[in-house]
Amino acid sequence: MCDQQRPKSAAPSGKEPAKPVLKLGAFLPYRLNHLAETVSRSLSRIYADTYGIGIPEWRVLATLGEHKAMTARDISQATSMHKTKVSRAVAALEKRDLLVRDKNRNDQREQSLSLSEKGNAMYEDIVPQALAYSKNLEDALTEEQKSVLDEVFERLHEAARAGQSD
Per-domain boundaries in the chain: 27-164
Averaged confidence pLDDT in the chain: 89
pTM comes to 0.78
pLDDT value of position 14: 65
Please give the class, per CATH, of domain 27-164.
Answer: mainly alpha
pLDDT at 6 over 90: no
Q: N- to C-terminal Cα distance for the chain?
A: 40
pLDDT at 81 over 70: yes
Q: Is the pLDDT of residue 104 over 70?
A: no
Q: How far apart are CA 32 and CA 38, in angstroms?
A: 10
